[in-house]
Amino acid sequence: MRRSARDTEESAGKITRRGLLLGGSMAAVVAVLGARMRHMQVDQADEFRLLAEDNRISIRLIPPARGLIMDRNGKLIAGNEQNYRVVISRDDAGNVEDVLNRLSGILPIAPEDFDRALKDARRRSPLPIIVADRLSWDDVSKVAINAPALPGVAPEVGLSRIYPRDTDFAHVVGYVGPVSDSDLAKLEEPDPLLQTPKFQIGKIGVETWMEDALRGKAGNRRVEVNAVGRVMRELGRQEGVAGGDVLLTIDADVQNYTQARLGEESAAAVVMDVNNGDLIAVVSAPSFDPNLFVRGISHNDYNALTENDHRPLANKSVAGAYPPGSTFKMVTALAALEAGVATTASSVNCPGYLEVGGRRFHCWSRRGHGRVDLDRALSESCDVYFYDLALKVGIDKIAEMGRKLGLGERHNIPMSAITEGLMPNKAWKQERYGTDWRIGDTVNASIGQGYVLTSPLQLAVMTARLATGKSVVPRLVQSVGGVAEPFDAGQPMGLTPDMLDAVHKGMYAVCNSQRGTAYGSRVDDKTLKMSGKTGTSQVRNISAAERARGVISNANLPWDRRDHALFVGYAPYDAPRYAVAVVVEHGGGGSTAAAPIGRDLLLRALSDGIPPTSAYPASQRNRIDTMHRNLPLRAPDGTPPESTRA
Amino acid sequence: MTFLEYRLKTVPTGPTKLLHVNWPLVVLLIAIASVGFLMLYSVAGGRMGVWAEPQMKRFAAGLAVMFFVGFVPIWFWRNMAAIAYGGSVLLLVGVEFFGSVGMGAQRWIEIGPLRLQPSELAKVTLVMLLAAYYDWLDIRKTSRPVWVLIPIAFIMLPTALVLVQPDLGTALLLMTGGAVVMFCAGVSWWYFGAVAGMLVGAVAGVFASRGTGWQLLKDYQYRRIDTFLDPSSDPLGAGYHISQAKIALGSGGWAGRGFMQGTQSRLNFLPEKHTDFIFTTLAEEFGFIGAFSLLILYALVLAFCISSAIQNKDRFASLMTLGIAATFFFYFSVNMLMVMGLAPVVGVPLPLVSYGGSSMLVLMAAFGLVQSAHIHRPR
């Protein structure tokens, strides 16, 4: 449109003014931008630099190799094996489901693992997801060959626990397993290692009690990660410290012999060096394969273990509490001798029973033993003799002697569920039941029945202390990380040689005199002869009516109502080296079910290998040879016997 | 002025136009685009082919477009203003029906190899139309209500269409761009005061409507506002972008971490690092020195445009140049405010630096208009 010159002038003037105003406001905004830049990049630079470093640098722990567990001769009990697994990282895989589908065409992936991996992938976890674990080298090679078709999939190698002597050490060494929430809750300041995926800690046995020594210290890697957590490069590395090796006092071969000798019986046995307390074998049968637990046991396998009436999961050698029966009689005898209420020569008449407070307490021999002294009372296991001693000395003195010998005490070795047993006295009963101690309780306790409860470990300690007269302390660990653990051979317990000799003589007679209860399990070799004591402890009450009709023999009772068979012993009788305690649950008589095992174990501990046939009485040698030939023993390198191999 | 009034003898013709091109402006644009090439090379991890090379080709095409547009006489463009505006409004309608969906909004149309965002085009055509309108209007009527309502309608038409997409950022740029032209044309302060008052009311309305049946914005837009007001409220979700952008920017320090050494961009902590957030990479790798230099380059572009506008006696040319300068200003300032945490995240690219085709071509065409105004100014 046509404009006058004035209008044009005015228009241009206005535009100039407003344009300059516009330019001024823009300059103000630019100044604000510049100031903000300066503030963030100069004043706050350090803060932001720190945040940027936080973003990109991630510290990854390097799990240390777990310490090995070996026997006294360095034979491997718990080791680490390389474990191949396949992981997938989400940001490289693209479509995780596609890749997993392709992968499952190559590897056997369980449907539940497949679903779990897919779920993990949806959770956008920055860490690689473990798809398959414990793969063979073949499977890993297949993955490597097909790598181009499997973006984001990578094989990884880690260490996992293996127990080459599987069943032999299940109860002693235990096993490792994944860290549970309750494991973490127990610790005040959990090692950050415990939160690394797939990390395993000791769950039971030596593995858990020696956890601190075995675990080692984690190393770490400073890595640069991208926004989705993938490692781009390593910035620095600090190596960790591998866990310390633990050397046990156990002899793996004796342990294996013991396990095989107990067989499928529900039984426990402990072999101990009487001079320094070293535990040579600690066995509970039947056993189980701890490797199953490391890999994650299936429901079927676990149910089979829990439903077995022989309780393979129970650690009977230290956790089982049994009435010691006649194996307790040495305690009663020593209590009486020490108190001076009886001498080594005193004798008692046994008519087959003792009347106490109007109640009749029977000797195992209905006809009675006639006049018996300590020697015969032990060798023929006369009950009445000990009833008599107990009445004279009283329960408190007996309990005191029992404690002195290691009963009723929790021996501190790194195993799980160690029982204290029970060494009752008057005060205990008052506190526990609120009733007075009765004279009948003393009578029952004198022969190791009633309230008295002991574990095979305690019985072995008792036997070692009887053999040496010293308060020797059991020890399971020889050295940790090359540093020897102290042992305690014990102090003399204040028992006079007279008393000890009298008991030793009695125990010798048990195994070597014609009428001894363990004469059938005697040793022929003079240098290997043993002393011991059998025990048969009732697990049921025998009513007066039954006694009148005739006591039902073990063979006619259901398995779980039969008597427990026990044997304690040491050898050689004149220069003791090893003590043994054997408990066969519901095994029947101690002399028939437990003593033969005790003899074999002592001879095995004393010999280098299978005990020589010449040590056995001539009449038994064929049977023993056959037994030894059929024993499912491991090869020296630990490989399992043919018969049990799958 | 009609073209008859131009003293044609004094307006350069033919190749002599080359001598009258606003060369400092051309140099500045090339410098800014080169910063972009460098950063695109860096964020691609040192590869040319990914972003830098296509961007260079586009910029070359953009320069050609700029010179072509610049050599066409300014009165031609003035006569084309209404047609161009009408065309871009039609495209905005078309994008509703044929547009491709991206980021939850319909924004672009595929025309052969070209991916056109009509809203980009609308920013320039709106400025052209308003400048032509005020050139035509008797200046004494400028502030009369009827003659103020007409340009407001011109502004609201494309704004409404863009809001439907929905693209809040572009809608705001359209309104402010239009408002700047009206302001420079001399519309009374009272109108701007009134609009400012209404804006305050609208903002209050937007917040009040949240969660009710007549909610004015989409949920994601509300979340962006929340995140803007308090980025730490959601550091791994919506606030992640802005937090990471600030970390990248701040960690650059005075002199930066070095070319291709920015950890935030190299390790993908930065979102959209080749488009909307490219400035953070520059700030991280070249520090305050680099970031501030780019800001100065932008400011110089504005300065040359404004001085050219003020010196130009042609009303259409001045208003259009100011409008284009303002549009350019809003582009880079909103982008920088956004990445520095001073404005909500509203998908606005950094002009000439961010990777992207249609916005660069439209912008270069706009600078072509500025050149045309400069070359053909009345002397």
> Comparing A466 with B222, which gets the higher pLDDT?
A466
Classified as helix, coil or strand, A536 is strand
In this structure, how many other beta carbons lie within 10 angstroms of the beta carbon of residue A360? 11
How large is the average pLDDT for residues A82-110? Answer: 79
Inform me whether the pLDDT recorded for A419 exceeds 80.
yes
Residue of B2, B127, B251, B328 to mutate for A, most A C-beta atoms under 10 A: B251
Res B104: pLDDT:
46
CB A268 within 8 Å of CB A250: no
Nearest residue of chain B to residue A46 (CA atoms): B251
Q: Name the residue in chain A with its Cα closest to that of B286.
A: A41
Q: Does residue A127 surpass a pLDDT of 70?
A: no
Helix axes A5-38, B278-311, angle to 10 degrees: 160
Higher pLDDT, B316 or A139: B316
Contact state of A42 with B288 under an 8 Å Cβ cutoff: yes
pLDDT tens per residue across span B241-295? 788 888 999 999 999 888 888 888 888 888 778 888 899 999 999 999 999 999 9
Contacts of B138 in chain A (CB under 8 A): 1
Q: Which chain A residues touch B248 with a CB distance below 8 Å?
A: 52
Helix residue ranges, H only, A340-454: 374-379, 383-393, 395-404, 426-433, 439-446
SS3 labels along A159-197: EEEECCCHHHHHHHHCCEEECCHHHHHHCCCCCHHHHCC
Burial bucket for residue A5 (CB in 10 Å: 0-12, 13-18, 19+): exposed
Cβ–Cβ contact B286 with A under 8 A: no
Between CA A594 and CA A602 the distance in angstroms is: 12
Q: What residues pair up with A268 in beta bridges, in sequence order?
A: A284, A583
> For A250-266, what is the mean pLDDT?
94
Is the pTM of the predicted complex or chain greater than 0.90? no
Q: Which residue has the tokens 């161009």?
A: B84
Mean pLDDT estimate for chain A: 89
One-letter identity of residue A625: D
Options 3.30.460.10, 3.90.1310.10, 2.40.50.100, 1.20.120.420; CATH for A82-162 is 3.90.1310.10
CB contact under 8 A, A55 and B254: no
**Using the beta-carbon criterion (under 8 Å), do A19 and B313 form an inter-chain contact?**
no
**Model confidence at B4: pLDDT above 60:** no
- The CA–CA distances, whole Å, from A507 to A158, A379, A529 equal 55, 6, 11
Give CA–CA dist A63/A241, Å, rounded. Answer: 9
Q: Do B310 and A42 touch (CB under 8 A)?
A: no
Half-sphere exposure of A472 (CA within 13 A, CB side): 29
- Cα dihedral across residues B51, B57, B61, B67: positive or negative: positive
The answer to whether B342 contacts chain A (CB < 8 Å) is yes
| pLDDT confidence bin for B15, thresholds 50/70/90 | confident
Q: What single-letter DSSP state applies at residue A206?
A: H
Report CB contact under 8 Å: A11, B139.
yes
Q: How far apart are CA B18 and CA B11, in angstroms?
A: 12
User: Left, alpha or beta for B45 (phi > 0: left; psi -120 to 50: alpha)?
Assistant: left
Identify which of B253, B286, B287 has the alpha carbon closest to the alpha carbon of residue A46: B253
| Smallest Cα distance from B247 to chain A, Å | 5
**pLDDT (0 to 100) of residue A157:** 80
Q: Residue A150 belongs to what H/E stretch?
A: none
Interchain proximity A227–B269, CB inside 8 Å = yes
Contact A22 B303 (CB under 8 A): no
Give B342's contacts in chain A (Cβ within 8 Å): 32, 36
Q: Residues of B with CB below 8 A from A47's CB? A: 250
* A38 min Cα distance to partner chain B (Å): 7
**Percent of chain A's residues with pLDDT above 90:** 61
What is the spatial distance between Cα B2 and Cα B75, in angstroms, rounded to a whole number? 7
- Give the pair of three-digit tokens for residue A45: 């630079």
pLDDT of residue B363: 93
Q: Greater confidence, A192 or A66? A: A66
Taking the C-alpha atoms of residue B110 and residue A499, their distance in angstroms, rounded to an integer, is: 110
* Order of strands across the sheet that contains A531-537: A279-285, A267-273, A578-584, A564-571, A531-537
Neighbours of B286 (CB within 10 A): 24
| Longest pairwise C-alpha distance within chain B | 65
Is A542 an interface residue toward B (CB < 8 Å)? no
SS3 content of chain B, % helix, strand, coil (to 5): 70, 5, 25
Write out pLDDT tens, residues A391-410.
Answer: 999 999 999 999 999 999 99
Which has the closest alpha carbon to A576: A418, A488, A467, A447? A467
Q: Which residue has 């105003």 as its token pair? A: A21
> What is the nearest CA distance from B268 to chain A, expressed in angstroms?
5
Residues of A in contact with B268 (CB under 8 A): 226-228
Weakest-pLDDT range from A310-319, A535-544, A560-569: A535-544
- C-beta atoms surrounding A291 within 10 Å: 17
Residues 120-159 of B with CB under 8 A from A: 135-139
Instruction: Provide ipTM, 2 decimals.
Output: 0.91
* pLDDT: which is higher, A479 or B15: A479
A25 CB within 8 Å of a chain B CB: no
Q: Which of B220, B229, B119, B222 is nearest to B170 (CA)?
A: B119
Residue A356's H or E segment, with its range, is strand A353-356
Rg for chain B (alpha carbons), in Å?
21
Inter-chain CB proximity A52 and B247 less than 8 Å: yes
Domain boundaries in chain B?
8-375
Residue A576 in this model has a pLDDT that exceeds 90 = yes
The pLDDT-based confidence of B158 (bands split at 50, 70, 90) is: very high
The predicted pLDDT at position A645 comes to 43
**A184 inside 8 A of chain B by CB:** no
Q: Which A-chain residues 230-259 have CB contacts (< 8 A) with chain B?
A: 232
- Let me know if B339 is exposed, middle or buried by CB neighbors in 10 A (0-12, 13-18, 19+): buried
**Closest Cβ–Cβ partner in A20, A30, A225 for B295:** A30
A10/B340 Cβ within 8 A: no
Give the whole-angstrom CA distance, residue A535 versus residue A376: 15
Q: What residues of chain B, 95 to 124, have a C-beta less than 8 Å from chain A?
A: none
pLDDT band at B224 (very low <50, low <70, confident <90, very high): confident
- Say whether residue B255 is in contact with chain A using an 8 A CB cutoff: no
Using the Cα atoms of residue B355, residue B357, residue B363 and residue B367 in order, give the sign of their dihedral.
positive
**Residue contact A33–B337, C-beta within 8 A:** yes
CA distance A148 to A539: 68
- CA distances from residue A64 to A164, A175, A443, B122 in whole angstroms, order as listed: 21, 18, 57, 65
Residues 6+ apart with CB under 8 A from A108: A132, A139
- Among A11, A46, A57, which would you mutate to test the B interface (most chain B Cβ atoms within 10 Å of its Cβ)? A11
From chain B residues 5-64, the ones with a CB under 8 A of any chain A CB are 5
Which pLDDT belongs to residue A646? 41
pLDDT at residue A256 in the model: 95
Please state, in angstroms and as integers, the Cα–Cα distance from residue A44 to each residue in A33, B98, B189, B267, B288, following that order: 15, 48, 40, 22, 12
Distance between CA atoms of residues A270 and A317, nearest Å: 7
Catalytic residue status for A553: no
Rounded mean pLDDT of B61-70?
A: 95
Tokens read off for B276: 């909307």
**Contact between chains at A51 and B251 (C-beta distance less than 8 A):** yes
Q: What's the rounded Cα separation, in Å, for the pair B249 and A48?
A: 8
Residue-level pLDDT at B204: 87
CA distance A124 to chain B (A): 12
Q: How far is CA B285 from the centre of its chain?
A: 25
For β-strands A246-248 and A69-70, DSSP reports them as parallel
Question: A51 to chain B, minimum CA–CA distance in Å?
Answer: 7
Give the chain B residue whose CA is nearest to the CA of A6: B139
* Interface probe with A: pick from B187, B191, B267, B329, most Cβ of A within 10 Å: B267
| Interface contact B337, partner A, CB < 8 A | yes
Q: Is the peptide bond before A63 cis (omega within 30 degrees of 0)?
A: no
Instruction: Check CB contact of B189 with chain A, cutoff 8 Å.
Output: no
Which is nearest to B18 in space by CA: B68, B65, B56, B58? B68
The alpha carbon of residue B145 is apart from the nearest alpha carbon of chain A, in Å, by 19
Q: Look-up: residue for tokens 């046994």?
A: A350
Rounded mean pLDDT of A472-482? 94
Q: What is the mean pLDDT of residues A98-126?
A: 77
For residue B48, give the DSSP letter. I
Is the preceding peptide bond at B15 cis, omega within 30 degrees of 0? no
State whether residue A3 sits within 8 Å of chain B by CB: yes
Instruction: With cut-offs at 50, 70 and 90, classify the pLDDT of residue A100.
Output: confident
Query: Of the candidates B336, B337, B324, which has an alpha carbon nearest to the alpha carbon of residue B363?
Result: B324
If residue A634 lies in a helix (H) or strand (E), which one and from where to where? none
| Other C-beta atoms lying within 10 Å of the C-beta of residue A351 | 12
Which chain B residues are Cβ-neighbours of A23 within 8 angstroms? 302-303, 306
Q: What is the pLDDT of residues A304-358, one digit of tens each?
A: 999 998 999 999 999 999 999 999 999 999 999 999 999 988 899 999 999 988 8
Give Cβ neighbours of residue A76 (< 8 Å, ≥ 6 apart).
A68, A69, A70, A164, A165, A638
Catalytic residue selected from A160, A326, A416, A513: A326
Model confidence pLDDT, tens digit, residues B131-154: 999 999 988 888 899 999 999 999
* pLDDT over threshold 90, residue A185: no
pLDDT at B378: 84
Q: What residues form DSSP beta bridges with A362?
A: A353
Distance in Å, alpha carbon of A28 to nearest chain B alpha carbon = 11
- What residues of B are in contact with residue A19 (Cβ under 8 Å)? 184, 306, 309-310, 318, 322
Within a 13 Å sphere around the CA of A149, how many CA atoms are in the beta-carbon half? 12
> Is there a contact between A41 and B295 if contact means CB atoms under 8 Å apart?
no
